[in-house]
Amino acid sequence: MARKFFVGGNFKMNGTIASIKEIVQNLNNATLDPNVEVVIAPPALYLLLVRDSIKNGVEVAAQNVWNKPNGAYTGEISVSQLKDSNINWTILGHSERRTILAESDEVVSSKTKFATENGVSVIWCCGESLAEREAGNTISVVSGQLEALKSQVSDWSRIVIAYEPIWAIGTGKVATTEQAQEVHAAIREWLKKEVSQKVADETRILYGGSVTEKNSKDLSKQPDIDGFLVGGASLKPAFVDIINSKQ
């Protein structure tokens, strides 16, 4: 079964009511490839604004979710609150949360387990630092992150993997198509060996790391790149071109 191409837009901590309305209007007016699944992740404050105004066919994601039910967790957002708001996706394990906020592999895996078991799909991020890349440890680092996920997750059907080399996020640097494909192929091989052939065949693996409309077409041609998780470019009109990069 062919994997449906997937493009996520991570707004990060960017946007105002006015600018996000403009992004939504641009997407609503655009002709988007119907063969691409599109999910956008505004800051939590604007989730309902986007959910209520985006056209059918575009899903909305939170940028984080907690691994416990509702309760005394000041500042967090729960799975049930997302479901109540018709938000069916969340991003977890982004390198900025792993590095700046010190979220461990175990914490990310626990959040992923709780979200997927309670009906929210996850864009699960992994990737290596520049030092790890230069030391030749890319595959071992990513495999370790995957191992932590496997230790807590049994149902992979709600997980989309996003490979995001930390050294290429927001830096303007981008992995070559060959570098990206090499890691994506290694992730798929890991899934085949450590989980199952079915999961390896069906799990979508996205590339994230300074993706723009200029490099997305070449990247999208790689056999193991099933889409993108886009950061800064998702705030611009050219995000439409990235969504349509397979056309």
Note if 184 is an active site residue.
no
Note if 94 is an active site residue.
yes
Question: Is residue 228 exposed (0-12), middle (13-18) or buried (19+ Cβ within 10 Å)?
Answer: buried
The active-site residue out of 59, 96, 164, 213 is: 164
Question: Is residue 141 exposed (0-12), middle (13-18) or buried (19+ Cβ within 10 Å)?
Answer: middle
The active-site residue out of 94, 96, 103, 128 is: 94
* Cβ 218 vs Cβ 189: under 8 Å: no
Instruction: Please identify every residue annotated as catalytic.
Output: 94, 164
